[in-house]
Amino acid sequence: MQPNHDTDGTQFTYDRDGTGQPLCLLHGGMAPPEYWTPVRPELENYATIVPQRPGFGTCLDDPAETGPEDVLDREVRYVRELVDTVDGEPILFGHSYGALAAIEAARAATVDAVVAYEPAILPEPFRTEADLAAQMERLLEDGRRREAIQRYVELVLHPDGIDDLDAWLAEWPVWPDCVDLAEEVTRMNRAVERYRLPDRLDVDAPVLVLTGTAGPDFLRESARSVHDALPNSRFVEFDGLGHGGPARSPRRVVDVVESFLDDRVS
């Protein structure tokens, strides 16, 4: 990771690789920047930029003083300022919470295109009934940090159930380091629960909205709703891919992304 500073003194920590048009890869709620490691080699025609999200190693504000109502605004501001630091008009490619931040940032930032894989948006009435943040807060108050993250895995990554959670966690690359992020993930989930998708998302840039049939049904529903709210978007659903689709099947996902990016300039 290399630091970069804008004119206001904001520090951005990111890794840049390759040449070509800048393509910013925004990781999700429980994934580190390394989530994009299997994806980047497939994007050989672009200069890939992978920042650390605020609160995940680098932040604009002290996470301990950041309330849930500020978390999304903080991240959107971070992405917009990151866009201003790169040469030319970048492409934003976000996964999950990073996809939500990418779309919201593109409502004001000048970007060439947006790719959003299963944006972390809750459909109605699922949103009004969601209580994951409250469950995690109670577990954290009791000092049960591991259980708080496990609850996130159970309700977000495997809402249909998982036979052996301990075995799955043992193979999860970010476990147990992600336990250190429990408070930040709780605030993030509170922000997601409070976010309401507007009837229209005023994004001038073309947007590719992606989802997979093997992921949570509520994220598939939200992906379709995001597509419907955008004035210029394409919707693609991958058969058999889940919420971790880009990292699980990078060539398959990047083929669709590159086709979309080629079509927008043809």
Q: What is the pLDDT of residues 69-127, one digit of tens each?
A: 578 888 898 899 999 988 889 999 999 999 999 999 999 999 999 999 999 999 988 88
Q: What pLDDT, on the 0 to 100 scale, is given for residue 55? A: 59
Threshold 0.85, pTM exceeds: yes
Pick the closest to residue 61 from 51, 72, 45, 47 (CA basis): 72
Higher pLDDT, 182 or 103: 103
Q: Within 13 Å and on the Cβ side, how many CA atoms surround 54? A: 26
Q: What pLDDT, on the 0 to 100 scale, is given for residue 233? A: 97
Neighbours of 240 (CB within 10 A): 11
196 has a pLDDT exceeding 60: yes
Structure tokens at 205: 């840039």
Are the beta carbons of 184 and 97 closer than 8 angstroms? no
As a dihedral over the C-alpha atoms of residue 213, residue 176, residue 92, residue 251, rounded to 10 degrees, the angle is -50
25 has a pLDDT exceeding 90: yes
Neighbours of 26 (CB within 10 A): 29
As a dihedral over the C-alpha atoms of residue 108, residue 120, residue 118, residue 240, rounded to 10 degrees, the angle is 170
56 has a pLDDT exceeding 70: no
236: confidence class by pLDDT, cuts 50, 70, 90: very high
d(CA 154, CA 233): 31
Residue 94: phi, psi to the nearest 5? Answer: -115, 150
Are the beta carbons of 23 and 68 closer than 8 angstroms? no
d(CA 70, CA 92): 22
Q: What pLDDT, on the 0 to 100 scale, is given for residue 140? A: 95
- The SS3 assignment for 196 reads coil
d(CA 99, CA 257): 14
d(CA 94, CA 28): 7
| Domain assignments of the chain as residue spans, ordered by start | 2-123+197-263
Structure tokens at 217: 């049904």
Which one-letter DSSP state was computed for residue 153? Answer: I
Q: What pLDDT, on the 0 to 100 scale, is given for residue 176? A: 76
Pick the closest to residue 156 from 128, 133, 176, 179 (CA basis): 133
Domain 2-123+197-263 has CATH 3.40.50.1820: yes
Q: What is the pLDDT of residues 137-176, one digit of tens each?
A: 999 999 999 999 898 888 877 777 778 888 888 887 778 7
Q: Quick one: which H or E segment has residue 163?
A: none
Length of the chain: 266
